[in-house]
């Protein structure tokens, strides 16, 4: 976690967003977005961790920043579950760090793009039952949810913002929608928004993120 990028707010921090990047990216990927969001969330700290560099099977074993290995693309993505669990442990440790700084779990939002989104969904709804201000799942899927998602009342109370591009060819819309549907079936208050974009983040999406975050942390 020494490589974690921490963006302190202009006011004393009373909330935190822990935001995980996607496969092959780095901790600086969402720095411009985080700095923009801090203009409307002047008391929110943004924590941007760095994924470890490790082999990714579907990319020919090439070494790159990844939260877990993807072993196969079809019929459903096969992943290294131990690595996914390890990444969730990293997120939980970052939450512990925020607790030590005076930020309660209820003032923390977990966010992630693509593979990073899969990690935060796993952390919040599979790995550990902790109260959160919310989860943002951007252009992502939920490889660890399974057919049934048994949740605690604490987990059911976590609001989720699911955002996806209708033209996404990397994580297709149906994979994101399946995660959203599973959350709704499990009793979670989840919101679905889609945009005419590919595997990316666009201005309209950032505006929606800002409004959603402000309603929960502002």
d(CA 73, CA 186): 26
Phi, then psi, of 91 in degrees rounded to 5: -65, -45
- Is residue 164 within 8 A of residue 189, CB to CB? The reply is no
Q: Is 114 a catalytic residue?
A: yes
Q: Which of 66, 114, 139, 144 is catalytic?
A: 114
Residue 38 token pair: 């801090």
Q: Which of 69, 87, 139, 168 is catalytic?
A: 168
Q: Which of 26, 97, 105, 199 is catalytic?
A: 199
Q: Is 21 a catalytic residue?
A: no
One-character DSSP codes across 30-63: THHHHHHHTTT-TTEEEEE--PPEEEEGGGTTEE
Q: Which residues are catalytic?
A: 114, 168, 199
């Amino acid at each position: 976690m020494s490589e974690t990028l921490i963006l302190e707010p202009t006011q004393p921090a009373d909330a935190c967003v822990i935001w995980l990047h996607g496969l092959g990216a780095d901790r600086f990927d969402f720095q411009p977005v985080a700095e923009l969001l801090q203009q409307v969330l002047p008391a929110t700290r943004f924590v941007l961790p760095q994924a470890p560099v490790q082999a990714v099977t579907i990319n020919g074993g090439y070494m790159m920043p990844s939260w877990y290995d993807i072993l196969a693309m079809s019929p459903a993505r096969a992943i290294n579950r131990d690595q996914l669990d390890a990444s969730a442990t990293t997120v939980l440790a970052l939450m512990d760090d925020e607790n030590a700084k005076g930020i309660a779990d209820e003032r923390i939002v977990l966010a992630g793009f693509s593979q990073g989104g899969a990690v935060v969904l796993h952390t919040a709804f599979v790995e550990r039952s902790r109260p959160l201000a919310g989860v943002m799942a951007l252009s992502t899927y939920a490889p660890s949810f399974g057919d049934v998602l048994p949740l605690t009342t604490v987990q059911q109370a976590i609001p989720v913002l699911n955002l996806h591009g209708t033209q996404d060819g990397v994580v297709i819309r149906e994979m994101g929608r399946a995660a959203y549907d599973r959350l709704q079936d499990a009793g979670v208050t989840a919101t679905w928004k889609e945009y005419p974009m590919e595997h990316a983040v666009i201005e309209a999406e950032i505006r929606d993120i800002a409004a959603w975050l402000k309603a929960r942390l502002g």
